[in-house]
Structure 1
């Protein structure tokens, strides 16, 4: 009798736990809260309205509450997604590739198009910049030269940043490894003082790297155009070309509020694939994925000025729009060129 009673109690308990647990598959793992994690670049107050609008629209589309997780470190955002602590993220291409390598449930959902409204011109730019007054130090025969950055104080964004580390690092290694003194130069060498740089800083955001340059903490800095476009304006030359001069706006928000009016010039501008929105399918689930992808790629989002601010409007938003820019669906394979940087 005791054995039968214990068996019956065990079966009842098992049924109860199964009902409460909801199973272990990805559909069962989905809950009533969608957690969205943001890189440091997009965690500032200047983009609060964009984050809230995106959250509101996702909540309407899915019927679920959206919680925003703001970060001050790239690694924290990547870890949250990889370890099933976030459903959705907006991150750079390199961050996505790293996350995908560690958790195959991570996948792309949408990316900002180019002006054409397609993936054909879906790109932004990785900049190397120097202060205007010191630009001649970085030229040879009147042209900017990478040779001149040796022994300088250099600022990257994060070693998980595509345009703030991976792209410029690959360019530097390709250039300097042809010289005997730097024949064995590696990414790891670029993360610390010597053999190429006298000092290496990490801004932890594109804004932070730019401010490192403008405050004199760094001689040369890597950062991207889209992450600082709200704070700077073209002062001379053609946008995204070597020699173009940018000035920090007089009303620039933090962290540029202490360097308003200062100018920097571009040593180089390298095109990079646009940053994706990505999801963790183990915690989001296919039903919500479909709803969010339909929302993101809709005209409603493309025409929403809280998300796509008209260029030169003075509005702060996650994206700027000058023509047919919108969010479009994107597959994992589109980021294969970024994977090549890590080989």
Structure 2
């Protein structure tokens, strides 16, 4: 039986989930299947972006009158205006709201703030949060480190303006994201710590994050870094897709902004982390390794939800799967766990 505490068992997480296997045998396809070529990026964006916006509008309509949304443009270091969606409670809590800032996924090539609308709205409904979903410039038009630089500029703006936004960071200041957004969030958690950003981050949500590229794995971890090969042909994020993302994003391989696992100043005094990790995902082992290092080597408090036998972003791509609803509920509960830790003063 697989256990996150026993790395020798992690390969068992990659065994395909029987229900997913049956869906595939019956001809089921990922809802967001795509052409894994750089030249196909514009067409994929054109097809996907209206869907994300449609889902976001429907979720907001369902949440009314308790939640309202507004759009702001945040000026970045070079004058670019980053588009952000802000979700707030219609009746703000008397003591202010915790702050949640999310960075969307999409392999640094796709996506928009609407992708995290549902997570933002649920955070407002359940925790009275002020929640922001952040846009950043995409590759290949804007290669590395444009995405992380835009995101860092926006995060600093949020920190400076949190009170004006209706937030009370003393109740919690969470950042997070999915996949590429998890990569960005991991880098930002270190930048916030190293620069002494005030108010400071109190919690980090990393969902199926990219944290350690295959060509930068420290030697002592190579025997445990097996998911890139085991899941190279998995649905949704096969090796060919990961290769395309890296070719488009053109990261600096030695940069800690690309490989936050290898952050030069280490991981001491990082905030509490909540992880969501898929078993049949090329990124599985970098998430499991990072969680293990944070917890065992740096004393960071962590929580993990793992989805054995299921691929990258399975919940959006196979919505009929019985575990797809688990993801959204787990995410919302994970935010609550991070906020509880913040409020208890156990940081």
Relative to the length of structure 2, the TM-score reads 0.29
Point out which structure has higher relative CO (alpha carbons under 8 A, 6+ apart): 1
Which structure features the higher share of helix residues? 2
Q: Max radius of gyration: which structure?
A: 1
